[in-house]
Amino acid sequence: MPYKLKVKIEDFIVEEIPDVTLLEEGKYTVFELEKKDTNTLDAIYYVAQRLKVEPERITFAGSKDKKAITRQWCSIQGDYRKWINSIESPHLKTSFKGYAQDPVHLGDLKGNRFQLMIRNIEHRPKPMMVFVNFFGEQRFGSHNAEIGKHLVRKDFEHAMLLLARTHTPFRESLNDYLIHHPRDYVGALRRIPLRLLKFFVHGYQSLLWNEVARALVAKKVVVSNIQVPLIGFGLSQKSKYRQYIDPILGREEIRTEDFIIKQLPELSAEGGYRRIFADVKRLELGECETDEVYPGKCKVRCSFELTRGSYATVFVHQLFTKFGEYKV
């Protein structure tokens, strides 16, 4: 692809548009987490360590890009105001926002505001106010969807081996468990934070959704902002999109009911729906400037807002490619 994103950390800035009601008193402390060049889970683990609590006690509305400057709201039960403002490292800092009666849940945001620098381009792209709502690559991460596929297929040995190889912080814990409990791969996986295991399964669901959406766009059967099925258990066998779903299931050698994971029931993933198009709000495209990183090329500043669950990287990709084209 001709354009470049995230060349510098400051080229990609994301700020949540929260959907949380703040109070002067409440059961939960709400704080803003600002991070750069680190992923959300690693940042949460660091904050938990500083607060001397389990990471699972800290909740947030959504994961944010690693190679970026990001700001998001989090919560923790109890009053941590006097400690929150003292947490700072080269990669993150936290700031107190207020209190709430309920924790910040996954999805508790209206959307995200982006400020990007797009580099290595020949011309200013034409504005686009709607795009195909593919899941972005960061949803799948490094082998995340593959680990999720192994979990869905109940191949817990390969899921654990791949996880240990690609997520080094957990390697020692997994190996230590298996020394004392040979071949108990399910038990070993229980040593991994639950929300990370869920992230793997949801990553696999997202990958499959992209396949279905891509097939619909390629066949030009999309005439409105339809809801495309997210493959999981409970998905109707009578869905009008089965002709696009079934070949994908066959190739993957899975069934929708395989998303019921009895050995690790917390990971079971229900089917659902996601709109095939996403709207772009408050789009501002700057003029071409000389790119100091790529001689002879230009750069463009771009800012916009997306609703929750939509990806800036996918939108930018479609600014410079054929509409609906996106591959992972």
pLDDT in tens, 222-246: 667 789 999 999 988 777 889 999 9
Q: What percentage of the chain exceeds 70 in pLDDT?
A: 97
Catalytic residue among 11, 65, 108, 291: 65
pTM of the model: 0.88
Report how far apart the first and last C-alpha atoms of the chain are (Å, whole number).
13
Do 155 and 86 lie in a common domain?
no
pLDDT of residue 325: 58
pLDDT of residue 254: 97
Is residue 121, in this structure, part of any structural domain at all?
no
pLDDT of residue 109: 94
pLDDT of 55-81, one tens digit each?
999 999 988 988 999 999 999 999 999
Beta bridge partners of 301: 117
Report whether pLDDT(39) > 80.
Answer: yes
Q: Return the structure tokens found at 82.
A: 């006097």
What is the β-pairing status of strands 92-100 and 109-121?
A: unpaired
Residue among 213, 216, 193 at smallest CA distance from 205: 213
Q: Return the structure tokens found at 263.
A: 């050995």
Report whether pLDDT(324) > 60.
Answer: no
Do 95 and 153 lie in a common domain?
no
The secondary element (H helix, E strand) that includes residue 54 is: none
* CATH code, domain carrying 90: 3.30.70.3160
Report whether pLDDT(327) > 70.
Answer: no
Do 167 and 97 lie in a common domain?
no
Alpha helix ranges (H) inside 30-133: 40-51, 81-84
Burial class of residue 77, CB neighbours in 10 A (0-12, 13-18, 19+) = middle
Please, what's the b/e burial string for 182-212 (b: 16 or more CB within 10 A of its CB; e: otherwise)? eeebbebbeebeebebbbbbbbbbbbbbbbb
CA distance 19 to 126: 31
Is residue 10, in this structure, part of any structural domain at all?
no
Report whether pLDDT(12) > 90.
Answer: yes
Do 101 and 141 lie in a common domain?
no
Q: Are 191 and 174 in contact (CB under 8 A)?
A: yes
pLDDT of residue 63: 87
pLDDT of 143-171, one tens digit each?
999 999 999 999 999 999 999 998 888 89
Is residue 326, in this structure, part of any structural domain at all?
no
Query: Across residues 263-268, what is the average pLDDT?
Result: 97
Do 223 and 262 lie in a common domain?
yes
Report how many domains make up the chain.
2
Q: Are 299 and 119 in contact (CB under 8 A)?
A: yes
Do 266 and 144 lie in a common domain?
yes
184 is catalytic: no
Residue span of the structural domain in which 45 resides: 20-107
